[in-house]
């Protein structure tokens, strides 16, 4: 099934906006009215991203804040200073989904935190708040700076990135259940936490000898990504992009044609294929079910936007060089699950089917050898990877007997991830034209799409 060329059958304003964005809707009155309706209900590019930064401190005093407990709070030369704790300083206003940025410095053995989605305790409003705390502590071996106190910790970082007496940049982002922190632009925590939805920002000064300083304390409200809800019997809307900012594979035009042909033939699938990712925005994402990438290099793609959409319930499918995409980005490699690190093999190799019951492995099982676990011979360019995410579920891997394998290295080739409410499916196969002409591979890919879309 192919998407309507004029887009009038779409189920949401955002979906109609997709058509206009990509130029598939003529400038008819109906199209213009649909877009006007979208803006009237508040769905536009600004509402999906940046509504403007708010200075939480006026640089002169603590107007707009309320003190609770002990502690002394003052503003000196534009710097908000907390000392002589314990005590907390709450914003009068509450926030739900936001990005907060500031510079922070604590004294020797200092301890502080930025509470968010917080409120005073009913039984004792002058003690510790109820809510999440982005920790400021350079000495606690468990809850150090960047951790969400007693809630979330980094997987890779094992010690604080900052020291007492030094200014550092702090960034906190809370969108839906997804909570992230950065220290000096290094991602520390990326967690799904659903306990608190809205509340105050509260700054902490922890103990009597404590001194903490905040400057350039600002916040912007953001809106959770809109995720399309597919009605029963409605086809999966697949956006297939082959934008190549790095190495360009010769097979891409054929791959797009094959996927478009399947979209025409299958009643459960609508496919829109493009070689340009520059128009992929929040409006586009709100009108589709699955983003499939066969891309490379430093794409002009907002990886945080894509990751937020997936975490909110969207689906991402990566093919072959999708892991050779945005390798230096701080978000995308974790989202897709690994980073390309060479292709030592371009020949027939033996592959292990690690998850024979997964629907995406069913086509390979038809050719599998009667071994435990099942194995299959396959000819393609075979990748190896670095920075493999610890939470991937491996569906297929390179057999351990294959020559040129390095001892102690993992060789996953097909895997899944389930970040938040969304799903990610990746297959490293798909380099050769012969692979795309192989019904087993195409069915493997289609079953991956269906799994990712929860079909």
When the pLDDT of each residue in the chain is averaged and rounded to a whole number, the result is: 89
Across the beta sheet with 112-119, the strand order is 65-69, 87-95, 199-205, 112-119, 130-136
Measured distance CA(286)–CA(294) in Å, rounded: 21
Mean pLDDT value of segment 187-213 = 94
How much is the pLDDT for 168? 98
Kindly list the domain boundaries of the chain, sorted by start residue: 53-221, 236-453
pLDDT beyond 80 at 26: no
Output the pTM of the full model.
0.79
H or E element, residue 272? strand 269-274
pLDDT beyond 70 at 39: no
What pLDDT, in 10s, does the model give residues 237-251?
A: 999 999 999 999 999
Whether the CB-CB separation of 261 and 253 falls below 8 Å is answered with no
Measured distance CA(365)–CA(353) in Å, rounded: 8
> What is the CATH number that goes with domain 236-453?
3.40.50.880
Measured distance CA(183)–CA(187) in Å, rounded: 7
pLDDT beyond 60 at 118: yes
Query: To which residue do tokens 């935190």 refer?
Result: 113
How much is the pLDDT for 276? 97
Whether the CB-CB separation of 383 and 409 falls below 8 Å is answered with no
Give the pair of three-digit tokens for residue 369: 């050898």
**Which of these, 105, 89, 96, lies nearest to 56 by C-alpha position?**
89
How much is the pLDDT for 455? 86
Mean pLDDT value of segment 17-26 = 37
pLDDT beyond 80 at 211: yes
Q: In this structure, what are the phi and psi dihedrals at residue 329, rounded to the nearest 5 degrees?
A: -75, 150
pLDDT beyond 70 at 9: no
- Minimum mean pLDDT among 220-229, 264-273, 358-367: which range? 220-229
For domain 53-221, give the fold. Answer: Jelly Rolls (2.60.120)
Could you tell me the maximum CA-CA distance found in the chain, to the nearest angstrom? Answer: 75
Higher pLDDT, 45 or 88: 88
Give the pair of three-digit tokens for residue 306: 């894509």
pLDDT beyond 50 at 51: yes
How much is the pLDDT for 27? 34
Query: Phi/psi class of residue 387: alpha, beta or left (left: φ > 0; alpha: ψ in -120 to 50)?
Result: left
How much is the pLDDT for 1? 56
Mean pLDDT value of segment 362-385 = 97
Mean pLDDT value of segment 209-236 = 94
What pLDDT, in 10s, does the model give residues 401-416?
A: 999 999 999 999 999 9
Whether the CB-CB separation of 106 and 212 falls below 8 Å is answered with yes
Q: Which letter does DSSP use for residue 231 in this model?
A: P
């Amino acid at each position: 099934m192919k998407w309507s060329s004029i887009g009038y059958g779409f189920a949401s304003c955002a979906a109609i906006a997709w058509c206009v964005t990509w130029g598939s809707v003529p400038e008819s009155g109906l199209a213009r009215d649909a877009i006007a309706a979208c803006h009237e209900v508040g769905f536009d590019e600004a509402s999906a991203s940046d509504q403007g930064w708010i200075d939480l401190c006026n640089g002169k005093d603590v107007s707009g804040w309320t003190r609770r407990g002990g502690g002394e709070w003052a503003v000196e030369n534009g710097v908000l200073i907390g000392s002589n704790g314990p005590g907390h300083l709450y914003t009068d206003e509450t926030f739900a989904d936001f990005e907060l940025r500031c510079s922070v410095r604590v004294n020797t053995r200092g301890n502080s935190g930025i509470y968010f989605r917080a409120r005073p305790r009913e039984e004792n409003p002058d003690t510790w708040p109820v809510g999440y705390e982005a920790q400021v502590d350079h000495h606690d071996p468990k809850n150090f700076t960047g951790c969400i106190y007693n809630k979330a910790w980094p997987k890779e970082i094992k010690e604080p990135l900052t020291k007492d007496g030094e200014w550092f940049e702090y960034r906190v982002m809370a969108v839906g259940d997804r909570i992230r922190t950065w220290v000096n632009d290094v991602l520390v925590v990326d967690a799904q936490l659903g306990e608190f939805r809205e509340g105050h920002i509260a700054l902490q000064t922890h103990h009597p000898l404590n001194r903490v300083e905040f400057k350039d304390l600002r916040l912007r409200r953001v809106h959770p990504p809109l995720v399309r809800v597919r009605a029963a019997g409605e086809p999966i809307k697949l956006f297939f992009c082959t934008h190549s900012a790095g190495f360009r594979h010769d097979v891409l035009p054929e791959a797009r044609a094959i996927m478009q042909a399947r979209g025409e033939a299958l009643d459960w699938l609508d496919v829109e294929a493009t070689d340009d990712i520059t128009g992929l925005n929040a409006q586009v994402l709100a009108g589709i079910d699955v983003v499939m990438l066969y891309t490379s290099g430093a794409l002009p793609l907002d990886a945080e936007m894509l990751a937020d959409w997936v975490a909110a319930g969207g689906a991402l499918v990566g093919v072959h060089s999708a892991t050779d995409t945005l390798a230096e980005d701080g978000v995308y490699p974790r989202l897709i699950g690994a980073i390309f690190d060479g292709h030592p093999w371009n020949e027939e190799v033996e592959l292990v089917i690690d998850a024979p019951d997964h629907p995406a492995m069913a086509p390979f099982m038809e050719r599998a050898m009667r071994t435990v676990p099942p194995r299959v011979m396959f000819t393609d360019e075979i990748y190896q990877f670095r920075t493999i995410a610890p939470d991937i579920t491996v569906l297929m891997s390179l057999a351990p007997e294959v020559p040129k394998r390095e001892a102690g290295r993992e060789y996953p080739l097909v895997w899944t991830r389930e970040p938040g409410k969304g799903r990610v499916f990746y297959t490293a196969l798909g380099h050769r034209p012969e692979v795309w002409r192989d019904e087993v591979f195409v069915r493997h890919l289609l079953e991956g799409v269906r799994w990712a879309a929860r079909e």
